[in-house]
Structures are given as C-alpha cells and as structure tokens.
Structure 1
C-alpha cells in the first residue's frame, strides 16, 4: 500500500465524510479516492493539496503522520504544558504552547494544542485570550467536519465567556453553535453538554426562570436520547440552576442523581469534581450539613490528589475548612485554610478569594483579628479582578460582612457593599463617607 493510504482513510473517517463526500470536496472522481485509500494509486502533489484542504489537515501530516517533526514537537509541548499546569505554573504552560506552529498541524492536533493553551490561560485569569483560542478551536473543528469536538470546544467557549462576564455574548455564541451543530451532532453527549452549559450562561445573565424551564426540558431530552454521561452532565448543570433559584434541596438532588448515573466510580474523571460540588452545596444549604460535606471530601480525596490539580485541591481544602469551622473544629479549620491558601498560590482570582475568605474566618474565630483582616483584604484584592455578575456580587457581599465583623474601616466596608451592587449592574447613590 502507498504510505498515504491509511492516513487518508483515517482522516476521512474522523471527519465523518464518505468517499463520495471527500471526492466532491476535493473535486475528484469517487473511484480515484477509493483507489487512493486502497493503495492502488498514489496521489501527486496537487491531489495531496486538495485532499488535505478538504480534510482540514496538512500535506505534511498526510505524508508523515505522527512522525512529522511538527507533530512530535507539538505533542511534546502539550505534555510539558500539562505537567506545568499541574505543578501550579500555568503561565509557563501558556508560553510553551504559544510557541507551537499550528499551521503545520492537522485539525485534530491543532485543536488539541489550542484547548490546552486555553486551559492554561484560564488558570492565570486571561479569560479574553482563552476565549479567543477556544473560538479558533471551535471554528477549526467545525470546518474540519469534527462536530463532536466542535461541540466540546464551543461548550468551553461559552463557559469562558460567562466567567469573563460577557454574558450576552456567551448566550449568543452558545445558541449559534447549537444551531450549527444540531443537524450533525443532535442527541450526542457533546451537544447536550453544550446546551447545558448554555443554560448556565442564561442563569449568570439573570434569566433564571427561563434557564430552569429550559434545563428541565433538556433533562427530559437527555433521558430519552442521551448517554449516561450526558444525563449526568445535565443533572450537574441543573443543580446550579436550582441553587441560583433558591432551591437548595432540589440542587442537592440533581448532584446526587449525577453521581448515581455515572456509577460513583472514583476513577471516573467527573466523580471527584461532582463530590466537591456536592460538598460545597452541603455547607451552603439551610441548615448546613458539614459532616456530610466532609464525607464527600474524604471520598474524593484520593482522586483529587492523583489529578494533581492545584486549583481543585485548594478548593477542596477551602470547603473542608468551612465545614470544620461549622463543627467547632477551629484548629483543624485553620490548618485547612492555610493549606488552601498555599495551594492556590498567586494569580488565581476565582478560587483564591474563597481560600483567603475561609482562612480569615478561621483566624477570626481563633481570636486573631488582625490576621483575619489581612486575609479578608487579600480576598477582596482577588475579587477586584473578577468580571461583574452574580458570583462576584455574592463574593463582595460576603467580604463586606466579614470586613465589618473584623473591624475594618467604614470606608472599606462601604466600598465592598458598593462593589456588590455594581457587580449586579445596580445603580446606587451609596457614597463613601467623607473624612473628618
């Protein structure tokens, strides 16, 4: 067989194209494509160019596949970047991936690099640039006839836009990709996940009732058409919708259903994160259930440690500190709070604020008011770079309450309350008190 034959057939099948589809896209006779794939004939330079263009890959990849220097260099960069992210150095990971020549790669490997690069940028808080890379990945996957991967990239893009506070754009982008991919990926786990992420964007925008109705309709469709993982993903997102709607018990029910659907296998990637979300919700419902929260954290501990994600481990330590404080375990809560702050390190704004807030609570209960105030001020500094929206508003409200409890200045407390209102887009006549 000609060395190109197997790679050509594999690339065509990954694109979801028939031989006739590829022949039309490359302006060739179907029998010629058949002969190429069977190794009866070998393509010339012009044919290689047309085939590569139709498949969204490079001529180099068709000729050399994964042995090409560009492919091997990009794969090494991805591996190194993942190691850097796990060790708490996402900035270095982003720099590693920025040097990769995407134009020398096929659509699958270029998308893989873009997704890893976006993840690293997200970890350092560069959400706008991460969104740009995710949009590029979604475009490449769509044009390269990879609808399932396009849906995955689009879901991450919607989440990045939501976290960046670009809520209307998040909704518009999600609806656009949903409509574009419905005909080729309808009913798949990836498309159901995309729509469920879109539902959360509606929640963040304040359309909570609409999100709840649409989320329940989505769950009914997932139960009819989707895989177990798809049903679990929809339950997972519906938990946040119900929580935003003030239905804490319903939110807990969805998270438990999500866990039950995936079987509770601790080796499953989603399971430890589900348990972590469940633990956090258990300490936020009324009345809180800190013992149950600690049990969920204990069940997720090993899998989280194996994942080596500093952010997830810091979040687990934060929730553990809050649960321990509720149980009167002040010394243990202080230890967990210190661990959370150490793990989160500098530069992580979203989880960093929560970690410093939990540490401040433990310090305040321990009678260390000055140290607590310092922790709360650090939490406020992390919140200052968060985009506007419900999460930022809730964070500012909590910090304002804590600054007041710790005895901070009236100006600082009033400013924090004002930021909470501003994060929701509310106009206020609240002004800082004049100095006397």
Structure 2
C-alpha cells in the first residue's frame, strides 16, 4: 500500500467528504481517488497539491503525517506552552506558540496551535490579537470541512469579542458563522453552544428582550433535539439573560438546571465553572446566600485544583472571601482575599479587580482603612482595561461606593462615579461640589 493512502483516507473522512466530493474539489475522477486510497496508485506532485488543497492540509502532512519535523515541533510547542500557562507564564507560552510554522501543518494541528496561542494571549490581556487568532482558526476549520470544530472555535471567538467589548463584532461573527455552519454541524452540541453564546453577546450589547425571546426558543429546540450538554449550555447562558433583567431567582434556576442536566459530574470541565458562576450569583442575590455559595465552592474545589487554572482558582478564593465576610468571619475573609490576589498575580488583567476588591472589603472590616484603600485603588487600575458597557459601569459604581465608605477623598470618589457613567456612554460629567 502506498504510504499516502491511509493518511489520504483519514484526512478525507475527518473532513466529512465522500470520495466523490473530494474528486470534485480536487478536479479528479472518482475512480482515481478510490485507487489512491486503496494504494493501487500513488499521486504525483501535482495531484498531491490538489488533494491537499481540497482537504485543507499540506502536502508535507500527506507525505509524512505526524512524523514530519514540523508536526513534531508544533506538538512539542503546544506541550511546553501548556506547562508555561500552568506555571503562571502565559506570555512565554504565547511566544513559544508564535514561533510555530502553521503553513507546514494540517488544518487540525494548525487549529490546535492557534487555539492554544489565543488562550495564552487572552491570559495576558491581549484580547485583540487573541480574537484575530480565533477568527483564523474558525476560518481554517470551516475551509477544511470541519464544521463542528469551526463551531467550537467560533464560540470562543464570540466570547472573546464580547469580553473585549467588541459587542457588535461579536454578534456579527456569531450570526455569520451560525448561518455558515448550520448545514454541516446542524443538531450538534457545538452549534447549540455557539447560538447560546451568541445570546449572551446580545445581552452584553443590551438587547435583553431579544436575547430572552431567542434564548427561550433555543432552549425549546435544545430540549427537543439537543443532547444533555447542549441543553446545559443553553440553560447556562439563559442565566445571564435573566440576571441582566434582575431576575435572580430565575437565573439561579437556570444554573441549577444546567448542573442537573450535566449530571453534576465534576470530571466534566464545565461543571466546576458552572459551580463558580452559581456561587457568584448566590452571593449577589437579595438576600445573599453565603452558605450555599460555600457549598458550591467546596464541590468544585478538587476539579479546580486539578485544572490548575490560576484565574479560576482566584475566582474561587474571591468568592470564598466574600462569603466568609457575609458570615462575619473576618479573619477567614482576609485569608482568602490575600490568596485570591496572590493567585491572580501582577499585571493589567481585569480578572484581578474582583480579587483586590474582596481583599479591600476584608481589610476594611478588619479596621485597616489605609490598606483597604490601597486594595480598592489597585482594583481601579485593573478595571482600566475593562471595555465599556453595563458590567463595567456596575463594577465602577461598586468600587466608588467602597471608596466613599472607606473615606477616600471626594475627588477620587467623584471621579470613580464618573467612570461608571462613562462606561454607560453618558455624556454628563460629575463635578466636585463647590465649597461654601
């Protein structure tokens, strides 16, 4: 059997193409493609080029597969990058992956490198470049006839654009890829997840009514035709819609439904993240439920520690600090607040704003006003990179309230309230009251 035969058949099957489809795309006779896959004949250089182009892969991959130097170097880079991220060095991980020659890889490996690179960039706060790489990965998967993988990458793209404050771009990208991938990925978990993430983007843009109507329609479709994972994803994102409306109980119900449908399986990577969101919401409803929040954090603890994500562990410590403070356990709140700040580390990522805010609350409750003000100001510096919108406005207003209670100067308090207004696009500017 010719050495290309097995790789050709494998690449075609992963692309979801029939032999006839591949023959049309490569401008070949179907019997020739059949002979190639059966090893009866071997392709010449020109045929190899056309086959690789039709399959979205490289001629090197068809000839050498995962034994090619380029493939092995890229795999080693991905492994090293994963280790660097886990050790808290995402910048070094991004540099490692930037050196990979994507053009020498097949579509699947190139996409894998791009997704890992985007994740590393996201962790260092370079969201614009991360979005560019996610768009590249999505298009490569789509062109390479990987509709499910394209939908998965598109979901991450919509999330990243939303986090970056590019809300119209997030909605446009989501709608475009949803329409383009429906035929190839229809009914898949990935497509349900893409549309539910798109609903979240509409919420972030302020289109709450439309998001609620579309989200409920999506849930009905998922319950009828989707898997448990698809239903869980839709419930998860509907929780954000209800929360945006101020419907705390409904939001909690959706998160609990998402957990129930997932089977509460902590081995599922989504479950501990669901529990984190549930713990956060339990602390924000009126009245807050700190004991229930701690129970969710306890259930997620082992999975989060195994996952080794510093950001997720910092979120858990932040929520523990808030819960303990609500329970009157000031010392424990201070311990977890310090841990959250340590886990999030230095840098400009806005993830650190909540950690420093929780630490400031614990310090203020401990009577350490000066240290609390320092923590709040550090939280403000982290919020500088947060894109405008309702979440940013809420964060700035919450911080302004804390600065006022802690006795910060009037000018600093007024400026912070002004940031909240600016995040909503308000043109009026708060001014200091004139002394009389």
Retained in 2: the 8 A contact 1:123–1:348?
A: no
1:33 aligns with 33
What secondary structure, in the 3-state scheme, does the structure 2 residue paired with 1:283 have? Answer: helix
Match of 1:114 in 2: 114
Q: Distance in 2 between matches of 1:348 and 1:271?
A: 28
Q: Is the 8 A contact 1:171 1:201 kept in 2?
A: yes
Structure 2, gaps ≥5 residues long:
none
Asked if the contact 2:393–2:421 (Cα under 8 Å) also holds between the matched residues in 1, the reply is yes
Task: Give the structure 2 partner of residue 148 of structure 1.
Answer: 148
TM-superposition CA deviations, 1:40-68 (whole Å, max 9, x none): 11111111111000000000000110000
Q: 1:389 touches 1:424 (CA, 8 Å); kept in 2?
A: yes
CA shift for structure 1 position 343:
0.1
In the other structure, the counterpart of 1:214 is 214
Report what 1:291 is aligned to. 291
Query: Residues 4 and 432 from structure 1, CA distance in 2 versus in 1: closer, same or farther, beyond 3 angstroms?
Result: farther
State the partner residue of 1:172: 172
What is the CA–CA distance in structure 1 between the aligned matches of 2:324 and 2:209, rounded to whole Å? 34
**1:57 match: secondary structure:** coil
Please identify, of 229-238 and 422-431, the stretch whose mean Cα deviation from structure 2 is larger: 422-431
Indicate yes or no: 2:259 matched with 1:259: yes
The answer on whether the counterparts of 1:356 and 1:376 sit within 8 Å (CA) in structure 2 is: yes
2:331 match: 331
- Find out whether 1:181 has 2:173 as its counterpart: no
* Structure 1 position 269, deviation (Å): 0.8
How far has the Cα of 1:433 moved from its partner? Answer: 5.5
> What stretches of structure 1 of length at least 5 have no aligned partner?
none
Corresponding residue of 2:48:
48
Query: Following TM superposition, by how much is the alpha carbon of 1:434 offset from its aligned partner in structure 2, in angstroms?
Result: 7.3
Aligned residue for 1:364? 364
Q: Deviations over 1:326-347 (max 9, x none)?
A: 0000000000000000000012
For residues 274 and 75 of structure 2, the distance between their equivalents in structure 1, rounded to whole angstroms, comes to 30
Report the secondary structure of 1:268's partner residue. Answer: coil
Q: In structure 2, how many angstroms separate the alpha carbons of the residues matched to 1:167 and 1:105?
A: 32
**1:156-207 Cα distance to aligned partner (Å, 9 max, x none):** 1111111111111111111111111112212211011111111011101101
- How far does the alpha carbon of each residue in 1:64-121 deviate from its partner, in whole angstroms, 9 at most, with x for none? 1000010011011111111111111111111110000000000100000000000111
Aligned match of 2:390? 390
Aligned to 2:381: 381
Tell me the alpha carbon deviations over residues 321-376 of structure 1, each in whole angstroms, 9 at most, x when there is no partner: 00000000000000000000000001252320000000000000000000000000
Q: Counterpart in 1 of 2:57?
A: 57
Counterpart of 2:431? 431
Shift of 1:429: 3.5
Note if contact 1:283-1:293 (Cα within 8 Å) is conserved in structure 2: yes
**Matched-pair contact (CA < 8 Å) for 2:330–2:362:** yes
Aligned equivalents of 2:347 and 2:37: distance in 1? 51
Q: Which residue of 2 aligns with 1:413?
A: 413
- Offset at 1:435? 9.5
Counterpart CA distance in 2 for 1:57 and 1:232 is 34
Instruction: Please show how residues 120-139 of structure 1 align to structure 2 within 5 Å.
Output: 120-139=120-139
- Aligned residue in 2 for 1:19: 19
TM-score, with structure 1 as normaliser: 0.98
Asked if structure 2 preserves the Cα contact closer than 8 Å seen for 1:276 and 1:296, the reply is: yes
Distance change (3 Å), C-alpha of 1:435 and 1:81: farther
Partner in structure 1 of residue 4 of structure 2:
4
Moved more, 380-389 or 317-326: 380-389
CA distance in 2, matches of 1:186, 1:264: 27
Paired residues of 1:155 and 1:174 also in contact (CA < 8 A)? yes
For residues 378-416 of structure 1, give each alpha carbon's deviation from its aligned partner in whole angstroms, at most 9, with x where no partner exists.
Answer: 000000111111211111011000011111111111111
Q: Distance in 2 between matches of 1:417 and 1:45?
A: 66
- Measure, in 2, the Cα distance between the counterparts of 1:416 and 1:94: 34
Conserved in 2, the CA contact under 8 Å of 1:130 and 1:160? yes
Report the Cα distance in structure 2 between the residues aligned to 1:9 and 1:434, rounded to whole angstroms. 78
Is the Cα–Cα contact under 8 Å of residues 411 and 433 in structure 1 kept in the other structure? no
On the 8 A contact 2:348/2:385 being kept in 1, the answer is no
Give the whole-Å Cα distance in 1 for the aligned partners of 2:379 and 2:432: 20
Of stretches 265-274 and 355-364 in structure 1, the one that deviates more from structure 2 is: 265-274
Is residue 353 of structure 1 aligned with residue 353 of structure 2? yes
CA–CA distance in 1 between the matches of 2:435 and 2:233? 52
- Per-residue CA deviations over 1:237-296 (Å, capped at 9, x if unaligned) read 111111111111111111111111111111111111111111111111111100010011
